């Protein structure tokens, strides 16, 4: 008969343990039951703040809904254990269920530590720990404008970021003299504090809370030093406490300050009872990170599933971490604070907000730890040197202030057992084995095969390097070519077209390509030529995809949508009436878009030129909703109407949109301008966004919405309008010049070597000496703008292309509509019938 294995806790560590039990064949030996306190299956707490953006747990779940059943594991949700009887060997659940066990694993994790000051239980005080906590926070936040976060550690700063994203005034209150006191020294914390404050978060250090203000609801904090902070909501993120109450009440030994005592094999003092994750106390240490918990889970699962084999032992874990806090890169590893005998090397650049520190062994030959703030690109390589005890080059400072010479490089040849991914305990040999097996030949496949890179993501650059190096060693070609017809990247084709004055696809493929081209390279080359010379895209009509070919988005049912430009979202009543009249004339469905424009849907192909003609005659132009081009600039009403506004965001948004309208790029471009830090225009979710300050404008770059939303990162602060426009000119042209095809600014910035700091150096400090040419190229594009709709309206020959049948004036007979809510829409697609063999 199978032995009964009960797991208390279905968090990240409990789930990883269950995964490893299944992987090692343990479900053949054990009857596995997992008890979860929350109402949902295991999800990713590391990226919990993403719930504020997505409002869905789907992207956070660690496994499909049927994973437990498929692997023969019983999962009980919203049913935590309330007692453990170690004598009769059974667990009692909150529902009264009795679960006998042979082996019991406590993965109960931790709970939020809430300081015990007067009034902490008032309405409006929340902890930041679970999805349910976040839902309560979002609901209550609707009625407040000022929020404080108690705790300046990792979770506290994540919470402050979430508050800022909700458009609230955000404060961080920290008892210690610096932020992230366990990871950063004073100098690093000072740099981080300046960076975060520049984004709008207000930091209060050395603050001991005396009491909460307010009657029944929270209204602020009264500090021991006599100062007061008036806010309407408090989020507590002041640390964690191990959930060891079950152990205490059942005779399982716990530490004096909490945590279940375990040995090197994760055993407690009770036979057959184990503890892993944040509840486990190993050699006086409780680990508050997920990577150590994963390591414990793997070791324990192996030992339980491999009787008779040599057991694995847990020797403690590395506490290295890399994350992006409110757009600021922060990383620390090893003995970051230099608590052992050491030689420190530090580099600070106050202008760019970068701090880097290496902690070397006393003889200067080995790396013992380090801190990176503002620029953490070197983290992956530095961590590898530290974890694998690699001897450093003669000039170790080159690791943080420059590139070491090839012969002095410490990264040349790591052993196969070198750990690459700390979160999932993946070595270089594991990666090479997966690649050599043929199971994965790209980065996505390598992540799926090995789990490497799916935790904090800090190891991805090294994974990519190992992948490419191994593929080359196998004799495989590693290229960034556009397609098989061009042995050039998109960036190289851009330079070729610009330097050689190439203005057609035919000339490009004849002189620098082969064959006839394909659906990949044709639109790419057309976009490049349009980005350089700004000629109407219809000149290259036959090499475009459907949307650019017809200057409209094809919709379900075979009709097209027409989106006229409405700069900044501002429109007069007369123009609103015109749009309504045109919609009625052509029987079009009307919808307000997310970019503050009006979408007219249901137009037949042959109607497009007539619709455009009517719109152009009334002063409208193409909104380029169909193109890989500059689209919308969203805005709030700003200081002209809003009582919170500090600048005229509408006027600036109109200026920005009219300047960059229609400019072609590797991917679509969107922007927004917000009149204050409340961010009603959602500027930080755009390719470039502008937020008003009391002194001017903050410029953010590299954001996007969609399936994988990204927050834009601050490029420069408190700019006047002219400087802001100048920086946008340079940013856009540098992106157009260097990005790969169909790569948005967010992905481009992530892939850019040196990241945001390098981009700042290029755009602001003219590191490459190209800013004059970037500005000239942008001015040329702005000065040669032509409305693509008007270009067709004015040319009868181009209008002839807009016919469904080449030899008939008839419309597409398959286009059919039904009426719904007073407007027409396409008929539903027929449901596919199930076909059985």
What residue numbers does the annotated binding site for siroheme cover? 680
The answer to whether the Cα torsion of 432, 437, 442, 447 is positive or negative is negative
Binding site per annotation, positions for [4Fe-4S] cluster = 636, 642, 676, 680
Q: What's the chain's Rg over C-alpha atoms?
A: 30
Which residues make beta-bridge pairs with 209? 223
DSSP notation for 544-568: S-HHHHHTSEE-TTS-EEE-B--GG
Binding site per annotation, positions = 636, 642, 676, 680
Strand 125-127 to 110-112 pairing? unpaired
Give the helix/strand (H/E) hosting 297.
Answer: helix 290-305
Show the DSSP H helices in 587-710 as ranges.
Answer: 608-617, 649-660
CA-nearest of 711, 670, 678 to 327 is 711
Give the helix/strand (H/E) hosting 295.
Answer: helix 290-305
Give the helix/strand (H/E) hosting 736.
Answer: helix 721-738
Other CB atoms closer than 10 Å to residue 574's CB: what's the count?
9
Name residues whose C-beta falls within 8 Å of residue 627's C-beta, 6 or more positions apart in sequence. 537, 547, 548, 662, 664, 668
Cα 378 to the center of its chain, rounded Å: 19
Give the helix/strand (H/E) hosting 190.
Answer: helix 186-198
The answer to whether the Cα torsion of 512, 514, 520, 523 is positive or negative is positive
Grouping H, G, I as helix, E, B as strand and the rest as coil, residue 518 is coil
List the structure tokens of 62. 């660690």
Cα separations (Å) of 799 from 356, 795, 796?
61, 7, 5
Strand 81-85 to 90-93 pairing? antiparallel
Show the DSSP H helices in 474-545 as ranges.
Answer: 490-500, 505-512, 521-533
Show the DSSP H helices in 24-112 as ranges.
Answer: 50-54, 67-70
Helix, strand and coil percent figures for the chain, each rounded to 5: 35, 25, 45
Grouping H, G, I as helix, E, B as strand and the rest as coil, residue 482 is coil
Kindly report the backbone phi and psi dihedral angles of residue 465, in degrees, each rounded to the nearest multiple of 5, phi listed first: -65, -45
């Amino acid at each position: 008969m199978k032995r009964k294995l009960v797991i208390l806790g279905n968090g990240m560590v409990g789930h990883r343990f269950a995964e490893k039990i299944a992987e090692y064949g343990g479900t053949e030996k054990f009857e596995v039951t997992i008890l979860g306190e929350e109402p949902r299956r295991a999800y990713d707490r590391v990226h919990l703040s993403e719930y504020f953006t997505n409002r869905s747990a789907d992207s956070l779940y660690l496994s499909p809904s049927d994973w437990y059943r498929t692997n023969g594991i019983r999962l009980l949700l919203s049913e935590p254990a309330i007692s453990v009887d170690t004598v009769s060997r059974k667990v009692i659940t909150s529902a009264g269920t009795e679960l006998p066990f042979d082996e019991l694993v406590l993965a109960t994790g931790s709970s939020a530590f809430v300081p015990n000051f007067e009034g902490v239980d008032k309405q409006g005080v929340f902890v930041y720990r679970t999805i349910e906590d976040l839902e309560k926070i979002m609901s209550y936040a609707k009625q407040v404008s000022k929020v404080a976060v108690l705790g300046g550690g990792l979770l506290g700063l994540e919470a402050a970021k979430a508050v800022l994203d909700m458009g609230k005034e955000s404060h961080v209150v920290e008892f210690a003299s610096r932020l992230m006191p366990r990871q950063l020294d004073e100098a690093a914390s000072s740099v981080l504090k300046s960076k975060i404050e520049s984004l709008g978060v207000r930091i209060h250090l050395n603050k001991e809370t005396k009491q909460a203000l307010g009657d029944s609801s929270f209204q602020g904090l009264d500090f021991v030093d006599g100062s007061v902070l008036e806010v309407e909501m408090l989020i507590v993120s002041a640390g964690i406490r191990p959930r060891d109450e079950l152990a205490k009440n059942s005779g399982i030994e716990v530490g004096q300050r909490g945590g279940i005592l375990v040995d090197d094999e994760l055993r407690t003092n009770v036979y057959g009872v184990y503890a892993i994750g944040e509840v486990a106390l190993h050699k006086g240490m409780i680990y508050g990170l997920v990577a150590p918990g994963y390591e414990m889970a793997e070791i324990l699962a192996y030992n339980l599933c491999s009787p008779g084999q040599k057991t694995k032992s847990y020797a403690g874990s590395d506490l290295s971490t890399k994350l992006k806090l409110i757009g600021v890169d922060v990383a620390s590893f090893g003995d970051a604070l230099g608590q052992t005998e050491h030689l420190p090397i530090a580099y600070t650049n106050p202008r760019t907000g970068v701090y880097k520190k290496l902690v070397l062994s006393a003889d200067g030959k080995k790396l013992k730890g380090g801190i990176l703030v503002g620029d953490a690109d070197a983290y992956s390589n530095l961590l590898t040197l530290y974890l694998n005890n690699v001897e450093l080059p003669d000039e170790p400072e080159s690791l943080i202030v420059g590139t070491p010479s090839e012969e002095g490089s410490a990264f040349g040849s790591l052993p196969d057992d070198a750990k690459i991914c700390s979160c999932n305990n993946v070595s270089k040999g594991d990666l090479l084995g997966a690649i050599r097996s043929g199971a994965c030949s790209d980065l996505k496949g390598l992540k799926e095969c090995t789990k490497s890179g799916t935790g904090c993501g800090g190891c991805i650059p090294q994974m990519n390097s190992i992948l490419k190096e191994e593929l080359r060693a196998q004799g495989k070609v590693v290229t960034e070519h556009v397609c098989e017809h061009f042995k050039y990247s998109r960036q190289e084709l851009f330079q070729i077209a610009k330097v050689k004055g190439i203005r057609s696809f035919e000339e490009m493929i004849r002189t620098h390509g082969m064959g006839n081209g394909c659906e990949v390279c044709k639109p790419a080359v057309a976009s490049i030529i349009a980005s350089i010379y700004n000629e109407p895209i219809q000149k290259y009509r036959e090499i475009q995809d459907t949307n650019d070919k017809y200057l409209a988005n094809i919709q379900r049912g075979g009709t097209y949508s027409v989106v006229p430009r409405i700069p900044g979202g501002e429109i007069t009543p007369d123009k609103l009436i015109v749009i309504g009249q045109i919609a009625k004339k052509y029987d079009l469905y009307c919808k307000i878009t997310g970019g503050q424009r009006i979408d007219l849907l249901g137009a037949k192909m042959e109607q497009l030129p007539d619709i455009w003609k009517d719109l152009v005659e009334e002063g409208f132009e193409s909104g380029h909703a169909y193109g890989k081009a500059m689209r919308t600039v969203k805005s709030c009403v700003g200081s002209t109407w809003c009582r919170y506004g500090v600048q005229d965001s509408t006027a600036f948004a109109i200026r920005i949109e009219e300047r960059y309208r229609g400019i072609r790029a590797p991917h679509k471009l969107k922007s927004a301008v917000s009149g204050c830090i409340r961010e009603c225009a959602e500027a930080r979710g755009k390719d470039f966004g502008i937020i008003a300050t009391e002194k001017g404008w903050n410029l953010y770059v590299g954001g996007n919405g969609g399936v994988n939303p990204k927050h834009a990162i601050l490029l420069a602060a408190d700019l006047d309008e002219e400087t802001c426009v100048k920086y946008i000119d340079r940013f856009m042209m540098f992106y157009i010049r260097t990005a790969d095809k169909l790569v948005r600014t967010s992905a481009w910035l992530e892939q850019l070597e040196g990241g945001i700091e390098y981009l700042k150096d290029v755009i602001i400090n003219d590191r490459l000496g190209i800013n004059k040419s970037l500005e000239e190229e942008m001015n040329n594009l702005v000065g040669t703008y032509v409305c693509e709709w008007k270009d067709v309206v004015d040319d009868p020959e181009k209008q002839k292309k807009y016919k469904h049948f080449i030899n008939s004036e008839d419309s597409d007979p398959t286009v059919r509509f039904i009426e719904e809510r007073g407007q027409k829409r396409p008929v539903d697609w027929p449901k596919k019938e199930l076909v059985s063999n």
